[in-house]
Amino acid sequence: MTKILIVGGVAGGASAAARARRLSEDAEIIMFERGPFVSFANCGLPYHIGGDIQERDKLLLQTPESFLARFNVNVRVMNEVTAINRDAKSVTVTNLLDGSQYSESYDFLLLSPGASPIVPPIEGIDDPLVSPLVHSLRNIPDMDRILSVLQTKQVKHATVVGGGFIGLEMMEAFHQRGINTTLLELSDQVMGPVDREMAGFVHAEIKQKGIDLRLGVGLVGISVSESNTLNLMLSDDSQFETDLLIMAIGVKPENTLAKEAGLTLGATGGIWTSPTLQTSDPAIYAVGDAIEEADFVTGQPTLVPLAGPANRQGRMAANNMLANSDGELETYQGTQGTAICKVFDLAIASTGKNEKQLKRDNIDFEKVYVHTASHASYYPGAETVSLKLLFSPSDGKILGAQAAGKDGVDKRIDVLAVAQRAGMTVDQLQHLELTYAPPYGSAKDVVNQAAFVASNLIKGDLKAIHFDEITNLSDDQILLDVRNPNELTNNGFIKGAINIPVDQLRQRMSELPKDKEIIIYCQVGLRGNVAYRQLVNNGYSAKNLIGGYRTYLFANA
Amino acid sequence: MTKILIVGGVAGGASAAARARRLSEDAEIIMFERGPFVSFANCGLPYHIGGDIQERDKLLLQTPESFLARFNVNVRVMNEVTAINRDAKSVTVTNLLDGSQYSESYDFLLLSPGASPIVPPIEGIDDPLVSPLVHSLRNIPDMDRILSVLQTKQVKHATVVGGGFIGLEMMEAFHQRGINTTLLELSDQVMGPVDREMAGFVHAEIKQKGIDLRLGVGLVGISVSESNTLNLMLSDDSQFETDLLIMAIGVKPENTLAKEAGLTLGATGGIWTSPTLQTSDPAIYAVGDAIEEADFVTGQPTLVPLAGPANRQGRMAANNMLANSDGELETYQGTQGTAICKVFDLAIASTGKNEKQLKRDNIDFEKVYVHTASHASYYPGAETVSLKLLFSPSDGKILGAQAAGKDGVDKRIDVLAVAQRAGMTVDQLQHLELTYAPPYGSAKDVVNQAAFVASNLIKGDLKAIHFDEITNLSDDQILLDVRNPNELTNNGFIKGAINIPVDQLRQRMSELPKDKEIIIYCQVGLRGNVAYRQLVNNGYSAKNLIGGYRTYLFANA
């Protein structure tokens, strides 16, 4: 009879427990959770605070009782595993309700302790008058504490530090409750997984909703005023008062238990695991936010604190713990880091590597931007999907993708996540046959369109210029706007551009000098490509602004 | 200078013309269209009739003038190519406005004539009093004629013959206009691309909206009553009166021109093309609804009258016509037939082969059904996605997929269409990393879930029984419903089942006989699997109803 102990009762741990029982009726399975809840919907917490999810009970997916009834799993909440005795194959457990300690033996141990919020050493943050007003959000008690403040105190202004998933979701939650909200982000963009110019779509949305967005500033000090509000001091020497502060600058793997047990940690601080999800001690598995994973593109170690991988890893660890002794163990196939975040009406999503990472890792890449309707533009409800596709210029392999928009963003990133995982090239993306009817897509989908542009670049049918190069033109270059004059008036234009609408270009081509390079742009890049081909086929030297004026405009938002 | 003639000015032809010009500024490009419009949104026609697309102008994507201005393409509407003179490399054209004939030479000819509605020899259909009230819908004039009837005549009742894409869309359009509508379909299901049991979701939706759906009956005779309504006689000897009749039983490739020119036709009646989209005469290319394509799964010839392939084929044909003489031509990669249709609030979609085709072609397959929330069920707006996945039991390769539901159907079929095209197996599908946040998906997506079940089947961790086998059990089998008693009361149950809720099964297992096979079912298959594993791990012989009661229920709708 196999005895399995599981540390942590949420995504990875709960998945592993349920799967282990399905595989073996006679295994003994004990799941320890130091908090009061197991298997809660941690991704739903901000939405309960904001009011989208009205019933708190909906967040409690399973209880110790339901786990016992369905899966015969012994769930011990408020029980913290404080030490692993690897030689004895046992753990030391503290019952947090009465302080008692006991020991429990194992055949296999699964570590799924998750990650904890990073709280930087900000001046005043440990002040006993300050700390009750400083919150993070990782679990139900965290959520209850925030709700309690909102219910008992008049919160007119809230501040969120950190523009990642939880920071953005909490910002929206406060806004939905009618609270004036400031979002502080130390870097020059929110949503680190996407590149700066794609984050511009989020910045525009956030500002449009009336959020006080402050980029490039850090929180350096906190004090309490007489009226019991917090006074925040920022790195730019400004300060302001706020009633409630959320620290959401990121998480770090919970590695204490593993470290003290002498298990190998990775350079990232995550618990090292083999592809079979075993730690350096083969009787101990580890999954989820606490572990270091292999990046799908580079194979390099990385941290991916996301629910999807945690759930699937838990399932796989159970398979491996209960595999026949002569059976082959399953291996984890690396993590693309596919992620999405709702920011008011906008979705922002990504998969694979972003440009910042590719540059840092010295990986050769090319990129395209397209802005295409989420479905046939003549059918009601179409919204623009703004897509960035990163690919290898040598073999056309997909390196990463990012998208922003109000409809169909999840679908396009999912399509590209599958294509990337399958090792597809941009040439193959051209042939993708995706569902098309006017309410759902277009005969040439956003993804096909991006692949056409990428393929044109690889074949040399198109020469690209990008949004960050277009304002530093040399004397040998001329900037040509091929949109209609009313578009320049209504949408703005890039300084110094001359305007010849694409439909007049054949007639007016002689207005352009043949001894200069023509830098073309239109609204999204499509008409620019038509103009580019006309000019090049007529002997001009030219480049087209990929993604057009729209990419340029939002890159600066 | 290359001279290109294009026959047909809609999807494939228009795409080819625009692409050809981008590739070559000095090619001479003439596009013939026998109708009055080019590049119109044929997929949008039913939605203008129904009122979703209010402005008729939105359907006219390009005009001859706009094509000339932007692409320098000579567009000749109301000009029909009536003969190809292959030796002379010229075509004969009739100007339909004045009846004059002329000839035009070519270097390359592209045939994109589309498909025409099949009108069966029904008694009375050619009666001059009948035919003005009998319509099909392929182009703008067809649409205008239908709208004219609706505007000038009091249409209280309309009848649509044929439950394919256009038939379903026209049914919905009439319903939206407040017209009582009958849908006649000769086979036992609408939406031929999906299997009968998946069409059940559509049948339920159609009936729920008050449509008079009649399956398994054909239209055999039409006559006109004195009040100028049509009297329809059906194959089941019933008859009824209707004010307006739409024939939408399917289309056939427009092959007359190709046939008369001696070009090879396929067994399907479509124009034969090589993978480079050349006909049996290499100077003549053909694309779109008129050609026979290679099926992606079987490689067998097939007809796929869909807009997506037509558009991409047009682009590819242009690339090949204008490729360097020493360059390699692009090849068309086969068609999966990925398709989707909106039916009221429901989407129904498919890709690859369906079970009917696999059986016909003697291809070995296994299948699973899952019914999973389109996004985290605790977040508002989640709808059930009902997914059928067909795969090879030997290597796990995806053979086809079908889905129905009110949210997220297009996304799941797109994901599976990409995975199929990439040659992925169900084992690999388990590892897919798709976008997850509560408003968009689940940590274990519908597709992951289907892959888990499929993988369990392949590994032998699960024995399946299917919806059509569960009512013919032998005396050695026992039917076990593991849902809660209130679910049986509220949702119904399968006759003869005994009920032990899954959470009581461990305690009550002794109530089950060990010498019989336990046939388990729950609502969607998930709890059934938990029960299955319990029973099998306790020495019972068992099978689980894949997709549960929900699959069984809608299969009979």
Interface ipTM: 0.96
Terminal Cα-to-Cα distance of chain B (whole angstroms): 60
The secondary structure of residue A226, as a DSSP letter, is T
Q: Residue A1 has what pLDDT?
A: 86
pLDDT for A326 beyond 90: no
Backbone angles phi, psi at A121, to 5 degrees: -75, 75
Distance set, CA A33 to CA A21, A90, A115, A146, B518 (Å): 18, 16, 14, 22, 36
pLDDT 10s digits, A14-27: 999 999 999 999 99
Among all chains, which residue has been given the structure tokens 């390099």?
Answer: A300
- How many residues are listed for chain B in this entry? 557
pLDDT band at A328; cut points 50, 70, 90: confident
Alpha carbons B250 and A179: distance in angstroms, whole number: 57
User: Across the interface, do A306 and B436 touch by the CB < 8 Å criterion?
Assistant: yes
**If you classify domain A345-458 with CATH, what class do you get?**
alpha beta
Interface check for A184 against chain B (CB to CB < 8 A): the answer is no
How many CB atoms lie under 10 A from the CB of residue B252? Answer: 17
Beta carbons within 10 angstroms of residue B215's beta carbon: 16
What are the angstrom distances between the C-alpha of A274 and each of A5, A279, A334, B363, B540?
A: 19, 6, 11, 39, 36
DSSP lists the bridge partners of residue A158 as A181, A244
Q: For residue A196, how many C-alpha atoms fall within 13 Å in the half-sphere facing its CB?
A: 12
CB contact, 8 Å: B379 with chain A?
yes
Query: Is residue A196 within 8 angstroms of chain B, CB to CB?
Result: no
| CA-based end-to-end distance of chain A | 60
- A538 and A506 in contact (C-beta within 8 Å)? no
Write down the pLDDT at residue B227: 84
Interface test with A, best of B21, B25, B374, B434 (most A CBs within 10 A): B434
Q: What is the pLDDT of residue B324?
A: 84
The conformation of residue A329, written as its DSSP 8-state character, comes to: P
Q: CA-CA-CA-CA torsion for B401, B404, B406, B412, nearest 10 degrees?
A: -10
CB half-sphere exposure, A418, CA atoms < 13 A: 33
Q: In this structure, are residues A339 and A349 in contact, taking their beta carbons and an 8 Å threshold?
A: yes
Cα→Cα distances A386→A332, A460, B41, B72, B76, Å = 32, 24, 23, 30, 36
User: CA dist A231 to A134, A158, A225, B465, Å?
Assistant: 12, 12, 6, 65
Contact B40/A at CB under 8 A: no
Q: What is the CATH number of domain A131-249?
A: 3.50.50.60
Count of CB atoms situated within 10 Å of the CB of A70: 21
**In chain B, residues 303-322 whose CB comes closer than 8 Å to chain A:** 306-312, 315
Residues in contact with B512: Cβ distance below 8 Å, sequence separation at least 6, in sequence order: B478, B480, B500, B518, B535, B540
Can you read off the two tokens belonging to residue A557? 């938002």
| Confidence (pLDDT) at B325 | 79
C-beta atoms of A378 and B41 within 8 A:
yes
- Please state the three-class secondary structure of B14-57 as a single string: HHHHHHHHHHCCCCEEEEEECCCCCCECHHHHHHHHHCCCCCHH
CA triple B369-B371-B377, angle to 5 deg = 155
Distance separating alpha carbons of residues A449 and B550, to the nearest angstrom: 38
Q: Which of A250, A251, A233, A230 is nearest to A241 (CA)?
A: A230
The confidence band for A54, taking pLDDT boundaries of 50, 70 and 90, is: very high
Contact across the interface for A434 and B428, Cβ inside 8 Å = no
Angle among Cα A64, A67, A69 to the nearest 5 degrees reads: 110
Angle CA(B415)–CA(B418)–CA(B419) in degrees, nearest 5? Answer: 85
| Residue B353 neighbours by CB distance under 10 Å | 26
pLDDT in tens for each of the 557 residues of chain B?
Answer: 899 999 999 999 999 999 999 999 999 999 999 999 999 999 999 999 999 999 999 999 999 999 999 999 999 999 999 999 999 999 999 999 999 999 999 999 999 999 999 988 899 999 999 988 899 999 999 999 999 999 999 999 999 999 999 999 999 999 999 999 999 999 999 999 999 999 999 999 999 999 999 999 999 999 998 888 999 999 999 999 999 999 999 999 999 999 999 999 999 999 999 999 999 999 999 999 999 999 998 889 999 999 889 999 999 999 999 998 778 899 998 899 999 999 999 999 999 999 999 999 999 999 999 999 999 999 999 999 999 999 999 999 999 999 999 999 999 999 999 999 999 999 999 999 999 999 999 999 999 999 999 999 999 999 999 999 998 899 999 999 999 999 999 999 999 999 999 999 999 999 999 999 999 999 999 999 999 999 999 999 999 999 999 999 999 99
CB < 8 Å from A in window 70-89 of B: 70-72
CATH (one of 3.40.605.10, 1.10.357.10, 3.40.250.10, 3.40.50.1110) for B465-555: 3.40.250.10
CA dihedral A438, A444, A450, A453 (to 10 degrees): -140
**And the tokens for B356?**
């009917």
- Mean pLDDT over A234-263 rounds to 96
Q: Does B441 touch chain A (CB under 8 A)?
A: yes
**DSSP states of A117-139 as a string?**
E-----BTTT-TTTGGGEE--SS
When pLDDT is cut at 50, 70 and 90, the band that residue A128 belongs to is: very high
Statement: residue A327 has pLDDT above 90: no
pLDDT band at A119 (very low <50, low <70, confident <90, very high): confident
Q: Is A3 helix (H, G, I), strand (E, B) or coil?
A: strand
Instruction: Give me the phi and psi of A397, to 5 degrees please.
Output: -65, 145
Q: Where are the alpha helices (DSSP H) in B431-484?
A: 446-459
Is B59 in contact with A378 (Cβ distance < 8 A)? yes
Distance CA B451, CA A333 (A): 15
Interface contact B53, partner A, CB < 8 A: yes
For B216, the token pair is 């398994």
Question: What own/partner pairs with CB < 8 Å and gap ≥ 24 does B363-366 have?
Answer: B363/B297, B363/B298, B363/B392, B363/B399, B364/B392, B364/B393, B364/B394, B365/B390, B365/B391, B365/B392, B365/B393, B365/B399, B366/B390, B366/B391, B366/B392, B366/B393, B366/B454, B366/B457, B366/B458, B366/B464
Length of chain A: 557
Per-residue confidence band for A147, with pLDDT thresholds at 50, 70 and 90:
very high
Helix (H) or strand (E) holding A196: helix A196-208
**A228 pLDDT higher than 90:** no
Interface of A with B in 113-152 (CB under 8 A): none
d(CA A473, CA A470): 6
8 Å CB contact of A41 and B378: yes
A80, β-bridge pairs: A94
**What pLDDT was estimated at residue A64?**
96
What are the angstrom distances between the C-alpha of B360 and each of B221, B298, B350, B366? 32, 12, 18, 15
DSSP assignments along B268-280, one per residue = TSSBP--TTSB-S
Contacts of A503 in chain B (CB under 8 A): 66, 69-70
Chain A residue numbers touching B341 (CB-CB < 8 A): 437
B residues 487-516 closer than 8 Å to A (CB): 502-504, 506
User: To the nearest whole angstrom, how far is the Cα of B224 from the nearest Cα of chain A?
Assistant: 35
Pairing of the two strands B180-185 and B157-161: parallel
Is B43 a catalytic site residue?
yes
Q: How many CA atoms, within 13 angstroms, populate the side-chain half-sphere of residue A160?
A: 27
pLDDT tens-digit readout, A391-426: 999 999 999 999 999 999 999 999 999 999 999 999
Centre a 10 Å sphere on the Cβ of residue B32 and count the other Cβ atoms it contains: 25
Which of chain A's residues have a Cβ under 8 Å away from the Cβ of B26?
A: 537
The token pair at A138 is 């990782």
Taking residues A454-475, report their average pLDDT.
Answer: 95
Domain residue extents for chain A: 3-114+252-321, 131-249, 345-458, 465-555
B98/B76 Cα distance (integer angstroms): 13
**Superfamily name and number for B345-461:** FAD/NAD(P)-binding domain (3.50.50.60)
- Contact indicator for A56, A50 with CB cutoff of 8 Å: no
Q: Residue A448 pLDDT > 90, yes or no?
A: yes
Q: Closest Cα partner for A13 from A88, A90, A56, A73?
A: A73
Taking the C-alpha atoms of residue B536 and residue B547, their distance in angstroms, rounded to an integer, is 19
Structure tokens at B138: 């392929």
- Determine the 3-state secondary structure of B397 from DSSP: strand
Classify domain A3-114+252-321 by CATH number.
3.50.50.60
Per-residue model confidence (pLDDT) at position B327: 80
* Same-fold call for B3-114+252-321 versus B345-461: yes
